[in-house]
Amino acid sequence: MAILVTGGLGFIGSHTVIELLSSGYEVVIADNLSNSEISVLDKLKKLSNKTIAFYEIDVTDKDKLELIFLNHEIDGIIHFAGYKAVGESVVNPLSYYYNNLMSTISLAELASKYDVESFVFSSSATVYGDNVSPFKEDMPLLERTNPYGETKAMSERILSDYSKTEPTKKITLLRYFNPIGAHESGLIGEVPKGIPNNLMPYITQVASGKREKLFIFGNDYDTPDGTGVRDYIHVVDLARGHVAALKKAKQGINIYNLGTGIGVSVLELIHTFIEVNQVDIPYEIVERRPGDIAVSYADTSKAERELGFKTVKTVEDMVRDAWRFEKNLIK
C-alpha cells in the first residue's frame, strides 16, 4: 500500500513517515522544501532503513503532482503540506489562501481521477474558535480570527463537499491540538524559521541560550494560574493517530480530534521543562497575545472509540524529547 505524504519532510509529516514505514506502508513524499530541509530525507531513511520515494514539487502544481500518480499506485494521501504561521497569514493572506486551498483542491481532484481510497487532512483545533473546552467534533465551529485558521475551516468544507460526490471514499479530517516534542532518536523534530511563534520551540531556544527569556502572554486568564491552557500532544503520538486514521476510517467524511484531553498551562509546561531537563528558563509576564483564547483541550472520546487511538506519551516525555532534539541542533 503506497501512501502519498505531502509535506512529509516537515515537523509532523516526518514523524508520520516513520510510523507509516514501521507499520508496513510504502511512502511517497511530495515537499517543496519551503519550510523544511532535504537533510530530513536522509534521516528518515536512516531511522527506518527503508527506501522512500521523494518528489521536490509544489503540491499546488497539479501537472507536476500528477506525475506521482502516474509513477505510483497511490492508495492513500496524507496532506500535511501548507503554511502554518498565524501572524504571517495576517500579513500575507493571499499566499496562505492560495497555498493551503490550491494544494487541497489539486490533491482532491487527483484523488478522484486516480480513485484513491483514503484522504487524510491536517486540520487544527483552531477551527473551534473560542468554544468552551473540551472541544467536541460535532460542536458548531466559531469564527476564526486569522486567515490561517480560515484556510483550515475552508479546506474542511471543500473536502466535506467533495466527499458528498464520492461517498465510497474515506475522507478524514484530523483536528490537531498542540503538537510538541520530537522523535526519541533526537534526529527529527521541529525547526522553526526565525523567531518561534509557538511556546515549545521558544522554550527550547531559551534553554539553549539562543534567546534570552520567554515572554508569557498574559497571566490574567480565567484559568487556575492565570496563564493559557492547551492540550499538548507528543508528535509521535500524533503521528500514530494518522496510521490509526488510515486503518480505521470509514467511508464518507470522518472528523477526529487528536489531543490528550488534558489541559496544561504555560507555567505548568515551563516548570515541567525545568524539572525534567534541569535547565533554567527565565521568563517575563507580558500582555496577552491578540487572538489567543484562555483554554483549549480536546474531547478525545470519538478518536478512542472509533480509531482505537489513545495517546501514551506524557508531558515529561514531550519536554525531554523536545530538549534532546534542540541540544542536537546546537552540537
> Which residue ranges make up the site for ligand NAD (CB under 6 A)?
6-7, 9-13, 30-36, 58-60, 80-82, 84, 99, 103, 122, 124, 176, 179
Of the candidates 170, 138, 100, the residue with the CA atom closest to the CA atom of residue 256: 138
Distance CA 208, CA 187 (A): 17
Please say which residue, 42 or 280, places its beta carbon nearer to ligand NAD. 42
Does the active-site annotation cover 221? no
Which position among 83, 96, 128, 148 bears the catalytic label? 148
- The entry of ligand UD1, ligand NAD, none near residue 199 (CB within 5 to 8 angstroms by kind) is ligand UD1
Residue 170 phi/psi, 5° resolution? -100, 110
Judged by CB under 6 A, the stretch of 98-106, 129-137, 155-163, 284-292 that binds ligand UD1 is 284-292
Please say which residue, 106 or 277, places its beta carbon nearer to ligand UD1. 277
> CB of 198: closest distance to ligand UD1 in angstroms?
3
> CB of 77: closest distance to ligand UD1 in angstroms?
22
Q: Which residue has the cell 504571517?
A: 88
DSSP for 11-70 reads HHHHHHHHHHHHTT-EEEEE---TTS-THHHHHHHHHH-S--EEE---TT-HHHHHHHHH
CB 238 within 8 A of CB 158: no
Task: Identify the DSSP state of 131.
Answer: P
Residue 272 engages ligand UD1 in binding (rule: CB under 6 A): no
Residue 322 engages ligand UD1 in binding (rule: CB under 6 A): no
> CB of 191: closest distance to ligand NAD in angstroms?
8
Distance CA 188, CA 45 (A): 12
Omega cis (within 30) before 134:
yes
Report the residue from 126, 155, 172, 300 that binds ligand UD1 according to the rule CB under 6 A: 126
Q: Which residues bind ligand UD1 (CB under 6 A)?
A: 86, 124-126, 148-149, 178, 197-199, 202, 214-217, 228, 230, 266, 289, 291-292, 296
Query: Catalytic residue positions?
Result: 148
